[in-house]
Amino acid sequence: MNLTYKLTAFWLFLGIGTTGFAAGLIETSRGVTGYQGTPLLDWCGYIKHDPNRPQPVYVDPGSSQVFDRPPSDAILLFGGGQMLSFWEPGSWQVIEGALVAGQGDLTSRQAFGDCQLHLEFMIPQELKTSFMNRGNSGVFLMGLYEIQIFDSHPCHKRQIYPDGQCAAIYGDTPPLVNVCRPAGQWQTYDILFTRPVFAKDQVVKPASITMLHNGVLVHYNAIIHGPTGHQEILTYQPHPDKLPLKLQGHGCPVHFRNIWIRPLDRIHCDSSNMEQKP
């Protein structure tokens, strides 16, 4: 979940448009925290961070998946005792073999577009932090499109708005189901991401993802309607076909391990060739 205005300033630097807002934080009788007065998401009929949006049904994801090794053509960004050579310097640390989030985002040295991304994360138990930062982190595809990390296990009486819960396309689309494991257990994200396509100054094909959370389908060819914004709608603006991956540092020591990525740049090349065939 993006609560830092540094990112907003970065998007404005890129020329990404915003929609103004005057929102207030509220809590429903169901214990769901969210906002009122935020912009309408015209693709679904709910306002951004709407606490009254239907909560995804909880599904027990079953036994933990055991990680063996990445595919032979994958880039291992972190794992196997590897240090932080694939990432820009920052405040994140490697502690007992896990990558622990610090203050500020962790940015990959290499840029990516279409990709298959696998990562594992664990939300620590007994966090001494505010409710809104309960396991708070995120995966920013191309540094712009966030998949939320948050402790959304149903054991908590107080829950965050559906488009901000674990595995949501943040501020955009909740997961199909909630399969969040309890804090202290390792969880997996497996993401197939297709970058947006631009022609001149217009987006002709938005970004999309298909995603498994703990082995369960939570997004299927889901459209990402624009860059991530908190309480505001950010519109697509042209950007390079490849940008660095970011992991969000939100002041919560979320642990990561076994991060690998497979660039899939041929997707757009193959589809373009198919369209040209008679």
Domain-wise residue ranges, the chain: 5-54+73-276
User: Quick check: 118 pLDDT over 70?
Assistant: yes
Which residues are CB-contacts of 147 (< 8 A; sequence separation ≥ 6)? 138, 139, 141, 167, 168, 169, 170, 189, 191, 209, 211
CA angle, residues 84, 65, 78, in degrees to nearest 5: 5
User: Quick check: 256 pLDDT over 60?
Assistant: yes
Q: Which of 109, 112, 103 has the alpha carbon at shortest distance from 87? A: 109
Q: Which of 92, 80, 91, 85 has the alpha carbon at shortest distance from 108? A: 85
- Looking at residue 2, what is its pLDDT? 47
Lowest mean pLDDT among 14-28, 216-230, 241-255: 14-28
Q: How confident is the model at residue 215 (pLDDT cuts 50, 70, 90)?
A: very high
User: Quick check: 14 pLDDT over 90?
Assistant: no
Buried b (16+ CB within 10 A) or exposed e, 203-231: eeeebbbbbbbbebebbeebbbbbbbbbb
User: Quick check: 250 pLDDT over 90?
Assistant: no
Prediction pTM value:
0.85
Distances (CA, A) of 157 to 1, 125, 184, 207: 20, 16, 18, 34
- Looking at residue 7, what is its pLDDT? 38
CA angle, residues 270, 275, 278, in degrees to nearest 5: 120
Stronger pLDDT, 130 or 47, i.e. the higher one: 47
* DSSP 8-state code for residue 79: -
Among 23-37, 116-130, 174-188, which range has the highest average pLDDT?
174-188
Round to whole Å and give the CA distance between 258 and 15.
34
Q: How confident is the model at residue 265 (pLDDT cuts 50, 70, 90)?
A: confident
User: Quick check: 245 pLDDT over 90?
Assistant: yes
Lowest mean pLDDT among 1-15, 18-32, 128-142, 167-181: 1-15
The bridge status of strand 255-263 relative to strand 98-100 is antiparallel
Query: Looking at the domain 5-54+73-276, which fold is it?
Result: Jelly Rolls (2.60.120)
User: Mean pLDDT in the chain?
Assistant: 87
Q: How confident is the model at residue 116 (pLDDT cuts 50, 70, 90)?
A: very high
Q: What percent of the chain has pLDDT over 70?
A: 85
Question: Which tens digit of pLDDT belongs to each residue from 79-104?
Answer: 966 779 999 999 999 999 999 999 99
